[in-house]
């Protein structure tokens, strides 16, 4: 996820450094936006070193990049910790006098504020009114903890512990608001209570709370002998991003990973496989009870008919000519089509396919993708446009999302694979909101 961590000027800013650590260790890409006052408590080098990213406070840094608009627009989550009385006031009144307040105005993702201040400031009618106004607009404002404050005094106003803020932030992304006194008609995702259940409403916004999803990722390898295989260029990045985002949105995730050299996303069960047949077996084992299967893996269509138990030699003996062996291939099963066939008339699991496509003389990418969607019979097809310096091994990609029965297509990108994963789960959430839960709860 792309996270903006706003830090305003309170002594608890040091605790935000721990929160930053937790977020980055969980694999999130965090840009820290401290206010000028925050930098008096914790300096820019700390934020830059811990986030591994540049840090800006005002809107006059890297202006060519338009950061005052871009940061908010691209964020999947904004967390402000600590949120001081001054920051709450500026945010409530729509001021845009530094990078953080600009970002808060441009963000359309969930926003979580973790206030920290002295009890008197927290309970002052001005702060109460600002908090109420922010909550009314859908911002999630945590209650501060009670306890020892900066000096000898105690009372409500302490910043909640970094672990609690992280937990609340991830729940918020998953569609569950942990802040108190939130008006349900003004949820952070802007949903109205129009007679749908909270789970349905959350699913419509891409929340996967209580769902079990199975994602395949990477590229299969079909061994020829103990040292050689037929493989492909898939890095697994897209599948891993899908698993990471699904977990962050509250799903139980099984990631069937074929030869991807990537770290396991936090909270995801990873099942490692090598070949297409192993991948098929692992996916089939995970599918019963699953709500969604996303086949992001690049599965080899063919495998060598025979596996040579010892290394195939260049020559057959002394003085013999080097001869090139002929490798006979046999077809692998189409796992995706098999899942669709096995599902029959059952609505579950929802099945998502991927297709790496290029345009040619017989049609453009979309024409080929639509034909594939029909052939495969899945509920959503994510067509990767290849050959435009995007896709394999890259961090950015361009996809078209196609559903059966409609010519409407949603194009996403070029965008990060995490952003594309978010868009895929948004679509899946909408499809799921019309279906009952299948996946076992956590």
Q: Looking at beta carbons only, is 56 or 355 nearer to ligand C5P?
A: 355
Nearest to 206 by CA among 433, 437, 440, 436: 433
Quote the CA–CA distance of 28 and 188 in Å, as a whole number. 21
Q: Looking at beta carbons only, is 57 or 216 nearer to ligand C5P?
A: 216
Burial (CB < 10 A; 0-12, 13-18, 19+), residue 16, is buried
- Least separation in angstroms between residue 228's CB and ligand C5P is 20
For ligand C5P, the binding residue among 1, 295, 340, 365 (CB under 6 A) is 295
Mask for 304-333, x = binds ligand C5P (CB under 6 A): ----------------------------x-
Helix (H, G, I), strand (E, B) or coil at 365: helix
Q: Per CB under 6 A, does 297 bind ligand C5P?
A: yes
Q: Per CB under 6 A, does 349 bind ligand C5P?
A: no
Binding to ligand C5P in span 264-283, by CB under 6 A: 276
- Least separation in angstroms between residue 382's CB and ligand C5P is 8
DSSP for 417-429, please give it: HHHHHHHHHHHHH
Q: Looking at beta carbons only, is 207 or 220 nearer to ligand C5P?
A: 220
406 backbone dihedrals φ, ψ, rounded to 5°: -150, 145
Helix (H, G, I), strand (E, B) or coil at 176: coil
For the record, the structure tokens of 329 come out as: 């291939």
Q: Per CB under 6 A, does 260 bind ligand C5P?
A: no
Q: Per CB under 6 A, does 120 bind ligand C5P?
A: no
- Least separation in angstroms between residue 86's CB and ligand C5P is 51
Instruction: Show Cβ contacts of residue 55 under 8 Å, excluding neighbours closer than 6 positions.
Output: 31, 32, 33, 34, 44, 47, 48
For the record, the structure tokens of 206 come out as: 């891409």
- Least separation in angstroms between residue 144's CB and ligand C5P is 47
Would you call the peptide bond into 405 cis, given omega within 30 degrees of 0 as the criterion?
Answer: no
Angle CA(360)–CA(362)–CA(363) in degrees, nearest 5? 70
For the record, the structure tokens of 146 come out as: 């009670």
Count of residues in contact with ligand C5P, rule CB under 6 A = 12
CA distances from 321 to 228, 312, 314, 317 (A): 22, 15, 9, 9
Nearest to 386 by CA among 402, 399, 395: 399
Catalytic residue among 232, 259, 332, 384: 232
- Examine the residue annotation and report whether 259 is marked as an active-site residue of this protein: no
Contact region with ligand C5P (CB under 6 A), list: 16-24, 62-70, 320-328, 353-361: 353-361
Q: Looking at beta carbons only, is 166 or 287 nearer to ligand C5P?
A: 287
Pairing mode of beta strands 229-230, 222-223? antiparallel
Q: Looking at beta carbons only, is 68 or 376 nearer to ligand C5P?
A: 376
For ligand C5P, the binding residue among 27, 34, 160, 353 (CB under 6 A) is 353
For ligand C5P, the binding residue among 76, 200, 334, 379 (CB under 6 A) is 334
Binding to ligand C5P in span 90-109, by CB under 6 A: none
- Least separation in angstroms between residue 353's CB and ligand C5P is 4
Nearest to 280 by CA among 213, 346, 338: 338
Distance of CA 360 to the CA centre of its chain: 32
- Least separation in angstroms between residue 396's CB and ligand C5P is 20
7 DSSP β-pair partners: 34
Contact region with ligand C5P (CB under 6 A), list: 221-229, 230-238, 347-355, 428-436: 347-355
Q: Which residues bind ligand C5P (CB under 6 A)?
A: 276, 295, 297, 299, 301, 332, 334-336, 353-355
User: Among all residues, which ones are annotated catalytic?
Assistant: 232
């Amino acid at each position: 996820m792309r996270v903006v961590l706003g830090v305003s000027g309170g002594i608890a800013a040091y605790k935000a450094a721990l929160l930053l650590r937790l977020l980055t260790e969980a694999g999130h890409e965090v840009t820290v936006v401290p206010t000028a006052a925050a930098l008096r408590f914790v300096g820019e080098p700390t934020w830059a070193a811990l986030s591994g990213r540049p840090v800006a406070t005002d809107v006059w840094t890297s202006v060519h990049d338009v950061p005052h608009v871009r940061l908010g627009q691209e964020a999947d989550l904004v967390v402000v910790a600590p949120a001081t009385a001054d920051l709450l006031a500026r945010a409530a009144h729509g001021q845009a006098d530094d990078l953080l307040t600009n970002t808060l105005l441009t963000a359309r993702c969930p926003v979580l504020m973790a206030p920290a201040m002295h009890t008197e400031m927290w309970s002052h009618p001005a702060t109460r009114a600002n908090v109420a106004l922010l909550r009314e607009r859908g911002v999630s404002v945590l209650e501060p903890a009670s306890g020892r404050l900066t000096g000898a005094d105690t009372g409500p106003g302490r910043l909640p512990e970094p672990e609690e803020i992280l937990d609340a932030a991830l729940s918020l992304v998953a569609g569950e608001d942990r802040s108190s006194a939130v008006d349900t008609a003004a949820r952070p995702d802007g949903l109205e209570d129009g007679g749908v259940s909270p789970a349905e409403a959350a699913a419509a916004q891409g929340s996967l709370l209580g769902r079990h999803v199975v994602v395949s990722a990477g590229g299969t390898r079909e061994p020829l002998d103990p040292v050689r295989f037929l493989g492909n260029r898939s890095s697994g990045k897209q599948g891993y991003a899908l698993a990471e985002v699904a977990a962050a949105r509250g799903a139980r995730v099984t990631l069937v990973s074929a030869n991807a050299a990537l770290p396991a996303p936090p909270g995801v069960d990873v099942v490692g496989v090598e070949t297409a047949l192993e991948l098929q077996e692992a996916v089939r084992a995970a599918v019963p009870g699953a709500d969604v299967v996303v086949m992001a893996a690049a599965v080899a269509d063919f495998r060598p008919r025979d596996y040579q138990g010892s290394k195939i030699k260049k020559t057959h003996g002394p003085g013999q000519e080097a001869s090139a062996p002929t490798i006979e291939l046999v077809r692998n099963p189409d796992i995706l089509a098999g899942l669709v066939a096995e599902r029959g008339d059952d609505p579950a699991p929802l099945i998502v396919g991927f297709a790496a496509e290029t345009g040619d003389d017989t049609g453009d990418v979309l024409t080929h993708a639509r034909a594939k969607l029909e052939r495969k019979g899945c509920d959503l097809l994510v067509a990767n446009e290849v050959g435009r310096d995007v896709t394999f091994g890259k961090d950015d990609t361009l996809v078209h999302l196609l559903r059966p029965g409609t010519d409407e297509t949603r194009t996403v990108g070029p965008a990060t694979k995490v952003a594309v994963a978010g868009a895929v789960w948004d679509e899946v959430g909408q499809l799921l909101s019309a279906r009952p839960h299948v996946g076992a709860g956590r």
